[in-house]
A and B are shown apart, each in its own frame.
Chain A
Amino acid sequence: MSETKKPTNGFSEALLRRAAPDRAAWEDLVIVPLFAVVVALLLGAAAMLATDVDLATIGRSYVALVSGSVGSVNAISETLTSAIPLTLAGLGIALGFRAGLFNIGAEGQILIGGMAAVVTGFSFPGLPMIVHVPLVLIVGALAGGLYAAIAGWLRAATGAHEVISTIMLNLISYRLVDYMLRLDFIQREGRSDPISKSVLENAELPRLLTWLDPNLRLHAGVFLMIGAVIFIHWLLFKTRMGFEFRASGENPEAARYAGMRAGLVIVLAMGLAGALAGLAGANQVSGVLGRASPGFSAGIGFDAIAVALLGRSHPWGVLLAGLLFGALEAGGRQMQVDAGVSIDLIGIIQALIIVFIAAPLLVRALFPWGFSKAKTSAKE
């Protein structure tokens, strides 16, 4: 009986262990991601060379990558704007990793959370902003959480693996959004394509820097992001619930024998993860887009998996990884403008970073000197 209850097979257990390591492995935590980024940038340059881009252009494109991500107020504003949803959804996925759950469904949870937020956002004219904005965010988080809890419940009640069920829920959410966007009370008047009404002005997360330049898009969601990081850190490491999550993730058998209710932990962890993804969706429609249309999740839910892995499932690590991915997105845009390098290259660099993080042994083999030094300093 205990054999059949074993929740994951060896492969995904190994992956999870890597995604949620203990303190002793801090070398893997810090050095490997750092080298992964460097190697990815170098290989990105090699990829450009291979596609007939000359050295001067490659140099110019990396200068643009830096200037477009941190080189000006606008660049920093764009980096943060892109980082907010990645970090929020990444936190959710990291929470799942900690609890031993592989949540591939952030994309769908973002869509469902965003749709619920958009409907709330245009439905209550006359509400003051101080009520309406929190309401939009809470409804978005609730919807995302409930949607993810379906997968948690399936896992707890029937043993259906969450990887499969969250992928299926993603597919369902795409069609559900297509359908909802064509409902009369959601679809914008006068349009026959699937696009929602606009969120009311009082339901929009306020822009923070428009007094400097009306084009700056940074909005109040940035506080939401930092608040969420602090909250998840507190939840994971300072509360009983967080301990139960981590214990179930590290060793589900031991957690069960210690009297923790495995089913409840699974549903709660999935629900919380989904709530964070739903919050990311609400943040997008209320802070950036102002409406919903079929592709508004824009792959954030999948990028967030990479963010959680790169951040080693630690809340502050996720924040840093989210900022890095946000910077790559904003800087990648500038690379295109200044050097004419394809935006697909940024995708390649992001993918390379993930490959190297998933293969720490490879990075160790490539940079043995980096690690011998790190080891001695770690021992001191």
Chain B
Amino acid sequence: MFSFKKTLAPTFLATALLAGSGASAFTACQVTDTGGIDDNSFNQTAWKGVLDAQESLGVEGRFLESQAETDYVANINSLVNGGCDIIVTVGFLLGDATAAAAAANPNQAFSIVDYAYDPTIPNVLGQVYATDEAAFLAGYVAAGVSKTGVLGTFGGINIPPVTIFMDGFYRGAMYYNAQNGTNVSVLGWNPETREGLFTNNFDSLDDGRAFAQNLYDEGADIVMPVAGPVGLGSASLANELGQDALMIVGVDADLYLTDPNNSHVYLTSVTKRMDATVTEVIARAMNGTFEGGLMVGTLENGGVDLAPFHDMAERVPAELVTKLEAVRAGIIDGSINVGE
């Protein structure tokens, strides 16, 4: 959590009343999805990008939380009227609302996390991530660590930025099988039929707990929830069962660091450096090099990665770490195709 006092000390009243007068500093605004700004993962990571820009570039940051999806359009609108120099919308589900607002306000710079418009929109910069590259590594290492030979995963909503994690995780585990002659299975996602387990929301911790429990009951000892704060519910279940019974693979941020209450349950995390790309977008908007299009985070440029094992390091044999490094190099040089 951050302190309102520290981050929001400058007065915004004047800017609000005289919107567009342009007298104040550069303002970066952000609209979250329904997970909320303090979800320890998706929205929080993107907001960290604004906070970092506040530190390093001296911009003013503001955010609006969406409580329901009916808020998306209204929230973007109130920021359009609030004198923002760039508006960052966080999440695939804001795709329609952002496109509409961008069309209605062609002089306003927008950037959206997790959405690639085709064709691109001149005043919207999409930030997308080759998350499957990092999730592939997570699937590989999880398959090597699992005692039961069963892994599990579930998602928030069946949308591409969620399922790309599950694709990578599944294929990483299958790659481990092919390399080592094992028979590890992955529950919760089938990359061929595009069907799997979904909570259909990004906010219910109870669902996170129940879905992880179901997977555990089916034999899974490592579960990767891809649903923002929902996964925190899975982590608390793992905390009660103990790490020998259930470990969690975090997503978006390194949850070992952002979820200190349950840090010991995370085997690793698939990080998606939205903070880095958001800061980069703000910097571009500030120095005038902003243009619409697409920005892709990959394993190679550090936009996505696998977090350190931290306390779990002793559970990951040195031999597996060596193999993992080889897989990483293979993905980067293109000899391993994570999308096969």
Chain A residues within 8 Å of B, Cβ to Cβ: 51-54, 56-57, 60, 63-64, 67-68, 72, 74, 78, 81-82, 178, 191-194, 214-215, 217, 284, 288-289, 293-296, 298-299, 330, 333-334, 336-343
Contact = CB atoms under 8 A, between A and B. Distances in A.
A295 B201 contact: yes
Interface residues of B, number: 40
Contact of A298 (B13, B70, B101): B70
13 contacts: A53-B4, A60-B12, A81-B74, A194-B200, A214-B104, A215-B77, A215-B101, A217-B77, A288-B70, A289-B69, A330-B74, A336-B65, A343-B65
Contact of A337 (B11, B17, B79): B79
A46 to B, nearest CB: 16
Contacts of A57: 4-5, 8
Contacts of B71: 298, 333
Given A67-B17, A217-B73, A295-B68, A194 B157 contact: yes
Given A67-B16, A284-B70, A215 B104 contact: yes
A330 B74 CA distance: 8
A341 B71 CA distance: 17
Interface of B: 3-5, 7-8, 11-13, 16-17, 29, 34, 62-65, 67-71, 73-75, 77-82, 101, 104-105, 157-159, 163, 194, 200-201
Contact of B194 (A74, A178, A192, A333): A192
Given A63-B13, A215-B104, A333-B78, A52 B200 contact: no
Nearest to A182: B158
B69 A78 contact: no
B78 A337 contact: yes
Nearest to A298: B68
Given A60-B13, A217-B74, A338-B12, A295 B158 contact: no
A296 B70 contact: yes
A53 B80 CA distance: 26
B59 to A, nearest CB: 14
Nearest to B101: A215
Contacts of A284: 70
Contacts of B75: 333
Nearest to A71: B17
Nearest to B62: A337
Nearest to B162: A193
B78 A192 contact: no
Contacts of A52: 3-5
Given A217-B74, A334-B16, A74 B81 contact: yes
B166 to A, nearest CB: 12
A289 B16 contact: no
B194 A78 contact: no
A193 B159 contact: yes
A52 B8 CA distance: 12
A340 B77 contact: no
A182 to B, nearest CB: 9
Contact of B64 (A82, A192, A294, A337): A337
Nearest to A330: B74
Contacts of B105: 215
Contacts of B158: 192-194
Contact of B16 (A64, A295, A298): A64
B82 to A, nearest CB: 5
A289 B70 contact: yes
B159 A294 contact: no
The 5 closest A-B pairs by CB, nearest first: A298-B68, A340-B8, A298-B70, A338-B16, A193-B159
A343 B67 contact: yes
A233 to B, nearest CB: 28
A252 to B, nearest CB: 37
Contacts of B163: 192
B230 to A, nearest CB: 14
B88 to A, nearest CB: 14
A337 B82 contact: yes
B12 A339 contact: yes
